[in-house]
Every structure is written in structure tokens, then in C-alpha cells.
Amino acid sequence: MSQSTTLPEFNRTALLLDVDGTLIDIAPRPDLVVVPPGLVQTLHSLRAALDGALAVISGRPVEQVDLLLDKAPQAVAGEHGGAVRHAPDQPIERPALPTPPPEWLAAAERLAASHRGVLLEHKARGFVVHYRAVPELGPMLHDAVLAILENSEEFAVLAAHMAWEVRPRGTDKGIAVASLMERPPLRGRVPLFIGDDVTDEDAIVKARAMGGAGLRVDAAFGTAGDVRAWLAEAASLGGWPALPLPGPA
């Protein structure tokens, strides 16, 4: 996808955004991220300009996203779609999905504790083994996590930013896009999704399949900072600026 990519008409767009690596810079640990000055205001402005059709899709829990972004997005799909709130004043909806058994979590805790630099992140329906500090352990940790799951048909191991994430099958960011687009104020609009990671590919594909656009940060923008600048310009113009990079997205 190139700079000449046709984006949805601004006033018909439903804007859906990833968080880590897209809106905010990746940090050594998920709890060390910093929300850049001006980002929340940009999101509030875009939400108003798009008549509320602004949503965030993240691997983080909805509660964490709301704390980081001050409920600026109209809707949030957290845990890769495993939890959704469609408006700031509405409760979080959780599809019927399995949770990992306690013995898996105990094994994952032992795995992380036995390798300095490995971090275990707990989620409501899964867990993430982070190895950013020790990238050479990535392949070994992948095999170890697969062994913990014991060929489970209910859960999958997915690659993320220097991490292996265990989550239930039957939910991904593409499914989250479809779910969010079913409800107003996104319903009836054309999706534009922006993400940066392997876990965002499902959402990119889904947005394109629905007649919209799906953009990868590295190919269409460069960095999360470039995404923020582009979104701020869009909020100011009331329209989509040219994409910064010409490469395929």
C-alpha cells in the first residue's frame, strides 16, 4: 500500500487504532509506557470531528487503555477483542471465552522466574511472556510456552513485540473490528485501521475486506511519533493528510 492509497472519506470514516507501537512508543515493560503530551487531546478532537466514530483495539485490558487514554476513544476493544466497551459510560462486555488453567499460570511463572530478564504479564484470559531484555531467549521461550499449552485446541500462542502471547482461539483484532463496526457511531461508516504488530494483521485484513483501509506503522508512517503527528494534523485539518511514506503497508 503506498502513499497514493485511497483512504476513506474523512466524514465517513470509522477510525480504529492500536495502542502500543502505534499511539504510544514501545517501552521495556508494558507498565513503563508514557503517554506523550497532546495525544489525549488529539484523540478527543478526532472523536468530535468523526462524530464519535473513534475506537481503540489493544491487547491490553480495557481498564488499562482507559487509564492511559483518559477514555478519549468512544469505544475500546481490549485483550484482542476479548473485552469490549462500546461507549465510555457503558459496561465492559466479555464474550464467553475460556481462561487458562491455574497450572499453566504456575508453569509460566516458574519459566519467567528461572530466566533473568523474562517478564510474565497476566491477562484476564491468558498471559504474555516478554523477552525484550533477553531477545536471544525468544525461540527457547516459544518452545517452552507451547509445552505448557500441551497442544490445547482452545488456546493459541501468538508472536508480539518481543513476546509470546497466549490467548483463547476465537478472538483476534479482526473480529474486534467487525464487532465494533456493528454498533453506532461506527456502524454505516468505512473502517480505517492503523497498527504496527503481527497481532494487528487480522485487523488490517478485515478493514480492507470491509471496503476500508488498513495501514502498518512501519510502512505507511515510520514510527509511532509519525502516527501521532499525522493524527494531530488530521484533527486540525478535518481531513486526512498525505501518508508520510510511500512503501507498501
CB 157 within 8 A of CB 165: yes
Which of 18, 172, 197, 200 is catalytic? The answer is 18
Q: Catalytic site residue 18?
A: yes
Residue 210: CB atoms within 10 Å: 18
Give every CB contact of residue 82 below 8 A, 6+ residues apart in sequence. Answer: 94, 95, 97, 124, 125, 167, 168, 171
Say if strands 155-160 and 126-130 run parallel, antiparallel, or are unpaired.
unpaired
Q: DSSP per residue over 143-182, as a string?
A: HHHHHHHTT-SSEEEEEETTEEEEEETT--HHHHHHHHHT
Pick from 22, 62, 60: which is nearest to 42 by CA? Answer: 22
Cell digits for 113?
Answer: 522466574
CB 213 within 8 A of CB 5: yes
Residue 103: CB atoms within 10 Å: 10
Look-up of cell digits 512508543: 25
Residue 24 to residue 220: CA distance in whole angstroms: 16
Which residues are identified as catalytic?
18
